[in-house]
A and B are shown apart, each in its own frame.
Chain A
Amino acid sequence: MKKRMASLTALALSVSMFVCSCGADNTEVLHEQVEQTEITLSWWGNDTRNEYTLEAVARFEKAHPEIKVKCSYSEWSGYEARNQIRMVSGTQTDVMQINVGWLSQFSADGGGYYDIEQLSEWVDLSNFSEEVLEYGRRNGVLNAIPIAMNAETVYINKTIYDRYGLDLPTKWEQLFEAAKVMHPDGIYPLSGANKSIWLYCIAYAEQQTGRQFFNENSDICFTEADLKLMIDFYNRLVKENVIPKVEDYQKMNLESGSYAGTVAWVSDAMGYFTNVIADGNEVIAVPYTVSDGIESGVGWYAKPATLYAVSKNTDHPKEAAMLLDFMLNSHEWAELQGVEKGIPISTSARDYLGTVGLLDGIQYEASLVMETNDHIAHMDPLIENADLYNGFIDACNLVLFDKSSSEEAAKELYELYAQTYTFADEDNS
């Protein structure tokens, strides 16, 4: 009996000690956070692009919860300077939308961006022809992949033109005739931001002179007289109320009806005209403006709309490549992007858009104007340089405000360009 009681007591004590030891558990607690790889993405664009890109990034993060994408974006204004600061300071984002001109600016030898062919395990390059990829190569290195083709395009609000009984303008003189009847009502037949009007004036000058602004060596072929021709043309456009001064250009006037047309990129069509069309206006992407006897498209340029590149010093090339592939080839991204940047070059994205019936709308129509034109030329990226068009507008203003003659302004402009660019011999131009 005593033995039994002793055993029972021992058992009770053991149980008590066990329970107490459980209560006083000093085990260390370790909670491991899910470590996300953070990569950065940058782009420029309007509201529409920003919204769908953020949504698409959210889809990518959902599909790849181990990756966090930090976004950096703004409208085009000032973006070029931001990109330059980032590129020269080595703080560029892992994946970036770039302009075609930046390839020559930041990667003369092909070493300015990551060689995407080294990432082909994660980026499906089979959706791009070799010819297309050539746009993104520098010194044989695949620095970037083009998203779509882009060109300045003339968009006309047909509803306004119809109101005045005017045909859709395809010739320069039609615009001046339209201005005569529209201006009394405060309406401009056309409009454009500084770069668009710069390219518009180049188109006019090339058609008049038969010379291209740049030759294949990126030497300026225009003479001082050609620059004067451009300056005079701009001033005529402004003075005869075809366009507002570029400083006065406000996109919202397209919605208010003060502008009956505009010159803008294919990729800008949705951003500019979604509300205009929603208000019941019919907007048409008309053939490129030309002089009599000139084929439509002469003097006009096409380029890759934008390209995607990967930072040469990214710490996460694999994740950057996964995002790049998602942006270029995935149906999820294509569904949101649609034709906002133009018709996608990626066969995967393009086929998907065709299948789901998203290849339509003003942006698609503008793309067709470009893709079906046989005379449009490949753009030299340098022609978009800000110092070129800012210098041109400054020269135009000198004349416009009677600060100097067009000859003097053209001379000054020529000398300004000569500080940075090489002029071709007149014999070679």
Chain B
Amino acid sequence: MSKKNPSMKDISRIRIIQFFMIIGYALIVIASVTIVTRLAVRKTDEVLKNKVLSLTSSLGVQMKLNMDSYISRMENSATLAFGEKSSYTYDASDPNNDEYEAINTEKVITDKLFSLCIMENFVDYGIVYRNNRTVGKISNATGSLFGDHIFTELEKMITRPRTADGWFTGYNGDFKRIYYVKRVHENAVIVISFYSNELEQVFDNPETMADMTVRLVDHEHNILYSDDHDEIGKPVPKSIMKRIAGQTSASFMDDDYLISINKSGDWYVICSIPTKIILAEKNDMTRYIYMTGLGAAAAALLVGFYLSYLLTNPVKRMVKALGMKAQNDLLTGLLNKLTFEEYSANALNSSLDSENRALVIIDLDNFKGINDNYGHAMGDKVLSDTGEMIRSVFSDDDYLGRIGGDEFCVLVNQRKSDIKAFREHVAKQCDTVADNFKKLSENNGCKVSASIGAAFFPADGKNFEELYAACDKALYNSKEHGKDRYSFYDETHDKGGEGQ
């Protein structure tokens, strides 16, 4: 049994529109929030990366300046040795030296050198002559490292012609000490060395950059010093090298590394730190932005849903009210003729033959007389009371309609499988209607009665038209037999067989 009507269809349509409106709104909100969030994240990334790159670059430059300063201090210390005249005039390799004078001269030079380096953590601070004789402080380790070739090997380390000096480390794979060599004269060089660990003070990171690796590398990019002592003497890792190849002073950043390279003398200071470490805060910020965006989207959707509810609910109510007005008789509140016929026809068309239904027409007797004698107001009241009375007699499952000025119709849907019992049920309701008209007459002070005709589905008709025609005949039968009675359609006699 379909009870759908136009207003319900309209409401369904409104619901569909509302659904798509919400989906559309949600998509727009999510898309907007996503775009805004992505833009915010990208911009934040860009600003943060630039700032971090700038700061790290500054730190790299500071490291380079520290190294420059340290190197300069060492070179100045070597140069100071020239303040003692005998240090650059004496030649220990001269075979004509008086041995006693030589011992005393070397003593003077040694005292001078010791006084110059007295507060420094130098491993070596002495002069080496072409005959491998040494004056000043030349450590056992340095002596062992170069052996009988100490002068020739040190002389080879002089790489800068103008100042006749040079820096080196890594001789025979020994990176423990860093050497500075400067020519004193043709047969002598002064050598200074210090432990590469000393560079820890030069490359001391601020606490916030504790994860940064600082490397000192030569022009072939071999590591001379590193925070990670295990990699000293090895080439710069390829992952670092490929990012700074060909650069002498630059900063670089990608998703993996932040690197800065700065030239210091013949060497390079390379600072590197994994991007994920330096930008750890950025990831937190990105997460924060995304979470904020998600929250904003959720809030916008909730507000959207609520606004949609506020918008569509009155429309639904209005459509429903309009639908009610279009379906019902305004005076009685029962279905109007068109709606009653549509509902009844639909119900009967979808009914099985095993189901029992009955169509009952209730036609007021002499209603024109009531209007004429008591006025239209009384007529309207009688009609209204009749509608109310019919509603009280029949159940909610039944269709109740006013199909004419003084004609009411009921499709009784109470499904009793036993036709006899059903007929008795309908007969009983017809009796009740007749009785109620008497009470209605007493209440209104005017005589009101009705002629009633009834026909049964499927015996008397299988659709609304057939059943209505049969019912109409039964009504005619009631009117013909004096009104104020009911009749059931009897097709064998073509007139009502039962009546009051």
> B366: CB under 8 A from chain A?
no
**Are A72 and B121 in touch, CB under 8 angstroms?**
yes
**Are A74 and B299 in touch, CB under 8 angstroms?**
no
Complex: A72 Cα to B195 Cα, angstroms? 11
**Are B176 and A81 in touch, CB under 8 angstroms?**
no
How many whole Å from A15's CB to the nearest CB in chain B?
Answer: 7
**Are A54 and B195 in touch, CB under 8 angstroms?**
yes
**Are A255 and B144 in touch, CB under 8 angstroms?**
yes
Within 8 A of B (CB), among A49-67: 50-51, 54
**A-side contacts of B310, CB under 8 Å:** 1, 4-5
**Are B140 and A47 in touch, CB under 8 angstroms?**
yes
Main SS at interface, chain A: helix
> A247: CB under 8 A from chain B?
yes
How many whole Å from A31's CB to the nearest CB in chain B?
Answer: 7
**B-side contacts of A272, CB under 8 Å:** 140
Stretch at the interface among B60-68, B112-120, B213-221, B368-376: B112-120
Complex: A107 Cα to B195 Cα, angstroms? 32
How many whole Å from B387's CB to the nearest CB in chain A?
Answer: 35
Known pairs A8-B303, A81-B118; A247 contacts B106 (CB<8 A)? yes
**B-side contacts of A247, CB under 8 Å:** 103, 106-107
Complex: A47 Cα to B99 Cα, angstroms? 31
**Are B303 and A252 in touch, CB under 8 angstroms?**
no
How many whole Å from A340's CB to the nearest CB in chain B?
Answer: 14
**Are A50 and B140 in touch, CB under 8 angstroms?**
no
**B-side contacts of A81, CB under 8 Å:** 114-115, 118
Interface size class, chain B: 35 or more
**B-side contacts of A256, CB under 8 Å:** 147-148
Q: Which of A31, A77, A251 contacts B114 (CB 8 A)?
A: A77
> B139: CB under 8 A from chain A?
yes
Interface size class, chain A: 35 or more
Most buried by A among B137, B140, B207: B140
**Are A15 and B299 in touch, CB under 8 angstroms?**
yes
Q: Which of A5, A31, A50, A82 contacts B119 (CB 8 A)?
A: A82
**Are A271 and B100 in touch, CB under 8 angstroms?**
no
How many whole Å from A22's CB to the nearest CB in chain B?
Answer: 8
> A378: CB under 8 A from chain B?
no
Known pairs A47-B140, A47-B141, A50-B195; A78 contacts B118 (CB<8 A)? yes
> A275: CB under 8 A from chain B?
yes
Within 8 A of B (CB), among A241-284: 245, 247, 250-252, 255-256, 271-272, 275
> B134: CB under 8 A from chain A?
yes
Known pairs A47-B176, A401-B100; A78 contacts B121 (CB<8 A)? no
> A225: CB under 8 A from chain B?
no
**B-side contacts of A31, CB under 8 Å:** 208
Closest to A86 in B: B119
How many whole Å from A410's CB to the nearest CB in chain B?
Answer: 18
Within 8 A of A (CB), among B279-329: 292, 296, 299, 303, 306-307, 310
Contact with A along B90-133 (1 / 0, CB 8 A): 00000000011001001100000011011111110000000000
**A-side contacts of B207, CB under 8 Å:** 33-34
> A108: CB under 8 A from chain B?
no
**Are B140 and A252 in touch, CB under 8 angstroms?**
yes
How many whole Å from B459's CB to the nearest CB in chain A?
Answer: 56
A-B contact count, CB below 8 Å?
A: 80
> A360: CB under 8 A from chain B?
no
Q: Which of A4, A82, A401 contacts B118 (CB 8 A)?
A: A82
Closest to A275 in B: B144
How many whole Å from A265's CB to the nearest CB in chain B?
Answer: 13
**Are B118 and A251 in touch, CB under 8 angstroms?**
no
How many whole Å from B300's CB to the nearest CB in chain A?
Answer: 10
How many whole Å from A29's CB to the nearest CB in chain B?
Answer: 12
Complex: A256 Cα to B146 Cα, angstroms? 12
Within 8 A of B (CB), among A13-66: 15, 19, 31, 33-34, 46-47, 50-51, 54
**B-side contacts of A74, CB under 8 Å:** 117, 120-123, 137
**Are B123 and A403 in touch, CB under 8 angstroms?**
no
Complex: A410 Cα to B486 Cα, angstroms? 166
**Are B143 and A252 in touch, CB under 8 angstroms?**
yes
> B32: CB under 8 A from chain A?
no
Q: Which of B122, B139, B292, B296 contacts A47 (CB 8 A)?
A: B139
Q: Which of A19, A46, A78 contacts B140 (CB 8 A)?
A: A46
Complex: A401 Cα to B100 Cα, angstroms? 6
Closest to B116 in A: A78
**Are B147 and A252 in touch, CB under 8 angstroms?**
yes
**A-side contacts of B147, CB under 8 Å:** 252, 255-256
Closest to A78 in B: B114
**Are B121 and A397 in touch, CB under 8 angstroms?**
no
How many whole Å from A198's CB to the nearest CB in chain B?
Answer: 16
Complex: A321 Cα to B119 Cα, angstroms? 24
Complex: A245 Cα to B206 Cα, angstroms? 51
**Are B140 and A271 in touch, CB under 8 angstroms?**
yes
**A-side contacts of B118, CB under 8 Å:** 78, 81-82, 85
Known pairs A4-B310, A77-B114; A46 contacts B121 (CB<8 A)? no
How many whole Å from B131's CB to the nearest CB in chain A?
Answer: 11
> B197: CB under 8 A from chain A?
yes
Most buried by A among B141, B176, B292: B141
Closest to A83 in B: B118
> A416: CB under 8 A from chain B?
no
How many whole Å from A402's CB to the nearest CB in chain B?
Answer: 8
Closest to B120 in A: A74
Complex: A74 Cα to B114 Cα, angstroms? 11
**A-side contacts of B99, CB under 8 Å:** 401
**B-side contacts of A418, CB under 8 Å:** none
Within 8 A of A (CB), among B158-216: 176, 195, 197, 201, 206-208
**Are B208 and A78 in touch, CB under 8 angstroms?**
no
Known pairs A47-B176, A81-B114; A252 contacts B106 (CB<8 A)? no
How many whole Å from A274's CB to the nearest CB in chain B?
Answer: 9
**A-side contacts of B148, CB under 8 Å:** 256
Known pairs A33-B207, A54-B197; A12 contacts B137 (CB<8 A)? no
Closest to A250 in B: B143
**Are A51 and B119 in touch, CB under 8 angstroms?**
no
Closest to A402 in B: B100
Complex: A255 Cα to B143 Cα, angstroms? 10
**Are A397 and B100 in touch, CB under 8 angstroms?**
yes
Q: Which of A4, A46, A275 contacts B139 (CB 8 A)?
A: A46
Contact with B along A114-137 (1 / 0, CB 8 A): 000000000000000000000000
Within 8 A of B (CB), among A126-164: none
**Are A12 and B195 in touch, CB under 8 angstroms?**
no
Closest to B107 in A: A247
**B-side contacts of A400, CB under 8 Å:** 100
Complex: A23 Cα to B121 Cα, angstroms? 53
Most buried by B among A272, A275, A401, A403: A401
How many whole Å from A239's CB to the nearest CB in chain B?
Answer: 13
**B-side contacts of A71, CB under 8 Å:** 121
A-B contact pairs, 20 of them (CB 8 A): A31-B208, A33-B206, A33-B207, A34-B207, A46-B139, A46-B140, A47-B140, A50-B123, A54-B195, A54-B197, A74-B117, A74-B122, A74-B137, A78-B117, A78-B118, A81-B118, A85-B119, A252-B143, A400-B100, A403-B100
Given contacts A4-B310, A78-B114, 17 further A-B contacts (CB under 8 A): A31-B208, A34-B207, A46-B140, A47-B123, A47-B140, A47-B176, A73-B121, A74-B120, A74-B121, A74-B137, A75-B139, A78-B118, A251-B140, A255-B144, A271-B140, A397-B103, A400-B100
**Nearest 4 pairs between A and B by C-beta?**
A252-B143, A401-B100, A78-B114, A47-B141
- Chain B residues packing against A (C-beta within 8 Å): 99-100, 103, 106-107, 114-115, 117-123, 134, 137, 139-141, 143-144, 147-148, 176, 195, 197, 201, 206-208, 292, 296, 299, 303, 306-307, 310
